[in-house]
Amino acid sequence: MAGTATDQSLTFMMLPMSAPTSRCSHHLPVIYVWAEGAGEVTDIEAAVNSLMGTLRGAGRQWNPYSESMARAEFRQRLLTAELGDLVPVDEVLRLVTGGDGWLYEIRWQDISVRRVQPNGSVEYYDAQVRALHGEPPRLPQYLIGVHVHEKLHWSDDDSRTEDEQNAQIRIAVKKFWAFEPSNWGIA
């Protein structure tokens, strides 16, 4: 069953597997573009850097091994998306936002994170990380990466979890359309 939420005249839905699938699941190659610009690195590396940025701060600690493992997982999933070989729902999910240029989220369910609490105790948890991208109809060979975030959960407040997820989707929608006048950085 699809989950829905309405906010600021936008309706967001996470659709079940029977919904149209992302280009990154069609078994045909596509090109991943990081809309904010890649700078000195590839678009995928720019997205990997942003994904790692979502998991920094708030007492989180990374050693060289665990950071390289997380980066490798992010990179491999994005490269698999470019090959068109992601598995719908488990690895990529369609987000219907009520307009053209559908958005999808590439999903990671278990990125291991070490966090030191203010009292000095250490905890480990598996983070759920999302990379949202658009697939504009006029650019059928591209995935346009626009936003990344860690999916936060409040075990005692499902509506807070849903509100936070919808806020992240709103950010992605705004970024998607903000980059549209520049053709999302594609020449």
Tens of pLDDT, residue by residue over 154-169, are 888 889 989 999 999 9
Give the residue, 18 or 185, on which the prediction is more confident. 185
94, 21 Cβ separation under 8 angstroms: yes
Q: Picking from 19-23, 39-43, 72-76, 134-138, which range would have the lowest pLDDT averaged per residue?
A: 19-23
Condensed to tens digits (0 to 9), the pLDDT of residues 37-58 reads: 999 999 999 999 999 999 998 8
Length of the chain: 187
Residue 157: C-alpha distances to residues 24, 58, 147, 164 (Å):
33, 21, 25, 11
Report if residue 91 sits inside a domain: yes
Cα dihedral sign for 12, 15, 20, 25?
positive
Report if residue 131 sits inside a domain: yes
Does residue 176 surpass a pLDDT of 90? yes
Report if residue 6 sits inside a domain: no
Q: What percent of the chain lies above the pLDDT cut of 90?
A: 69
Condensed to tens digits (0 to 9), the pLDDT of residues 55-113 reads: 998 899 999 999 999 999 999 999 999 999 999 889 999 886 766 558 999 999 999 99
3-state class (DSSP) for residue 42: coil
Tell me the residue range of the domain where 60 lies.
14-185
Per-chain mean pLDDT for the chain: 87
Report if residue 106 sits inside a domain: yes
- Helix 43-54 and helix 64-83, axial crossing angle in degrees, nearest 10: 130
Mean pLDDT throughout 125-143?
94
Residue among 48, 127, 39 nearest 81 (CA): 48
Report the pLDDT value the prediction gives residue 80, as an integer from 0 to 100: 98
pTM here is: 0.86
Report the pLDDT value the prediction gives residue 187, as an integer from 0 to 100: 80
Cα dihedral sign for 176, 179, 185, 187?
positive
3-state class (DSSP) for residue 150: strand
Between CA 27 and CA 32, with CA 28 as vertex, the angle to 5 degrees is: 110
Report if residue 2 sits inside a domain: no
Report if residue 103 sits inside a domain: yes
Quote the CA–CA distance of 12 and 135 in Å, as a whole number: 16
Report if residue 65 sits inside a domain: yes
Please classify residue 141 by burial: count the beta carbons closer than 10 Å to its beta carbon, then call 0-12 exposed, 13-18 middle and 19+ buried.
Answer: exposed
Number of domains in the chain: 1
Quote the CA–CA distance of 96 and 83 in Å, as a whole number: 23
Instruction: Classify residue 88 by its DSSP letter.
Output: B
Residue 185: C-alpha distances to residues 36, 59, 130, 137 (Å):
8, 35, 21, 16
Report if residue 8 sits inside a domain: no
